[in-house]
Amino acid sequence: MLKKACACTLVLLFTMLPLFAQTETPPVFQLAQPKGQAAPPLLVTLQDALDRAVKLDVQYQLAASNATIAREDRVQARAALLPGINQTTQLLQTQGNGITPNGRFVTNDGVHVYRSWGVGHQEISAETFLKSSYRRAQAAEALASARVEIAQRGLALTVTKNYYTLITSQRKYATAQQSVQQAQRFLDITRQQENAGQAAHSDVVKAQIQYDQQRQAFQETTLGVENARLNLAVLLFPDFNENFNVVDDLDSAQALPPFSEIQSMASEGNPELRAAQEALRQASFDVRVAKNAFLPAIAIDAVYGIEANAFALRSRAAAFPESGVLPNLGFFITANFTLPVFDWGIRQSKVRQAQTRERQSRVELTQTQRVLLANLYLYYNEALTARAAVDISRQSAELATESLRLINLRYQAGESNALEVVDAQKTLVDTRNAYDDVQTRYRVALSQLQTLTGKF
C-alpha cells in the first residue's frame, strides 16, 4: 500500500508540472538601454544589414572615395596626351617718347598693342607614344577598385559576425529563460517531496543552488543580447536606433562548395591578389616614366588671332601708317625642341627610386600569393570543421533534451537523484548553446572564406 501511495503521489506531481510552468515567470532583470522609437520595430535581414552598413562604414567610404579620385586621375592623364586650346587677350601699354610711333620700347610697333590669340598646344615626347603616365593611372584606378572590394568583403565579414552574434545571443536568452523555468519547477518538486518525506533536504539544497545559477546565467545572457544589439546598431543606423529585429536564418546555411571550385574562384576573383598585381604594374610604369625623362621632347604652339595697334580685325599699323588699313588676323607656329643634358643626377635618382618601389611591390606580390594560398586552406578547413560540428551538436542537443526528460521521470519514480537531474539540466543548456555557437561559427567561416573567393 505504501508503494502505491508513493506512486500515486509521483504521478500527481508529474501531472502538476505544466501548472508550475504556467505560474512561474523568469526573474525581472532590466538593463539601461537607449530609448526606442515609437514606430514598430524594423525587420532586418542579413542582406539588408549589409546594404545599410555599406552606406555608413568609414573605411568603405574612404576606399570608394579613393577609387573615384583615381578614376579622375586616369581621365586627366588621358586628356594630357591630347592637344590643348587656350584663348588669351592682352594689352601692351607702352610709355611714349613723343617722337617715334613705337614709344620707348623698340620691340613694340606702337604705343598700344593688342593681342587676342587662340593657342593650340601639343607636347610630343616619349609619353605621347608610350602612354606610360596614362597606363600608370589605369593601374592606379584598378588598384583603388580592388581596395574597394577588399573593404566591402571585410565589412561583410564584420556585419555577418555581429548579425549572427545577435541571433545566437537571442537563442541563448531563450535557452536560459527555459532553464530558469526548469530549475524552478525542479526546486518546487524537491520541496514538495521533502515535505512528503520522499526526498532528502540535500536535494532541495542542490535544486536551490541550480536555480540560483540559472538565474545568474539568465542575467548574463540578457547582457549578451543587449551588447550584441548595440554592436550591430552602430553598424546599421546613423541615428543609433535599437528598434529593430533580425531574421533568424541560422538553420538555412548554404552548402560548402568543393575545394576545387573554391580554389578556382580564389585565383580568379581575389581582390587582394589583384591589388598586389596592380600595385606592381603601377610601380613598373613609374620606372618607365622616370626613364622617359632622359628622352628629348618637342612642344608645338599654333597661334591664330591678332597682334595689332587696335583691337580690331583691320587697322593701321603705327609703324607704317602709309600702308593704310591692313588685315590683322593671322597665325604663326612655334616649335621647341628640348634635349635633357645635365641636372646633377636628379633624373637618375628618380629612376633608382622607382626601381626600388618596383622591387618592393614584387616582393609584396609574392607574399600576397603565399598568404592567399595558406588562408585558402585555413578558411576552408575551418568551414569544413564547423559544418561537421553543426551536425554533431544538433544530435547532442537532441540527445540532451531526451536525457533530461528521462532523468526527470526517473527522479519522480525514485530511481534517480537530484545530482543527476541538475547535471542533465546543465548538459542540456550547454549542448543547446554549443549548437547555436557552432552554427554561428559556420556562418562566419563561410563569410571569411568569401573574403577570398567572393560570393558563392
Read off the pLDDT of residues 7-59 as tens digits, 9 standing for 90 and up: 433 333 333 333 333 334 455 556 666 665 567 889 999 999 999 999 999 99
pLDDT digits (tens, 9 = 90+) for 374-413: 999 999 999 999 999 998 999 999 999 999 899 888 887 7
Residue 97 has a pLDDT of 81
| pLDDT class of 1 with cuts at 50, 70, 90 | very low
Interatomic CA distance for residues 217 and 279, integer angstroms? 52
Place 62 in a pLDDT band, splitting at 50, 70 and 90.
very high
- Output the pLDDT for position 412: 78
Residue 269 is predicted with a pLDDT of 85
**Residue for grid cell 587662340:** 118
Would you say residue 182 has pLDDT above 90?
no
Structure-block grid coordinates of residue 28: 525581472
Q: Indicate if the pLDDT at residue 85 is higher than 80.
A: yes
Q: In terms of pLDDT, which residue wins out, 189 or 349?
A: 349
Average pLDDT over residues 354-368: 96
Q: Residues 289-318: pLDDT tens digits?
A: 999 999 999 999 999 999 998 899 998 888
Q: What gap in Å lies between CA 8 and CA 12, rounded to an integer?
A: 6
352 pLDDT more than 90: yes
Percent of the chain with pLDDT over 70: 92
Short-list 77, 79, 161, CA closest to 440: 161
175 HSE (CA, 13 A, CB side):
25
Which positions ≥6 away from 350 have C-beta within 8 Å? 290, 293
pLDDT band at 204 (very low <50, low <70, confident <90, very high): confident
Given a cut of 80, whether residue 445 has pLDDT beyond it is: yes
Q: Which domains does the chain have, with CATH numbers?
A: 7-25+41-81+131-295+345-453 (1.20.1600.10), 84-130+296-339 (2.20.200)
98-154 tens-digit pLDDT: 777 777 777 778 888 899 999 999 999 998 999 999 999 999 999 999 999 999 999
Supply the pLDDT for residue 16: 36
Q: If residue 326 lies in a helix (H) or strand (E), which one and from where to where?
A: strand 325-327
- When pLDDT is cut at 50, 70 and 90, the band that residue 280 belongs to is very high
What is the overall mean pLDDT for the chain?
A: 87
**Closest CA relative to residue 20, chosen from 174, 173, 179, 186:** 186
pLDDT band at 240 (very low <50, low <70, confident <90, very high): confident
Q: Which residues contact residue 335 at a Cβ distance below 8 angstroms, ignoring those fewer than 6 apart? A: 298, 299, 300, 301
At residue 95, the pLDDT reads 83
d(Cα 216, Cα 261) in Å, to the nearest integer?
Answer: 47
Q: For the residues 166-189, what does the mean pLDDT come to?
A: 90
pLDDT grade, residue 189 (50/70/90)?
Answer: confident
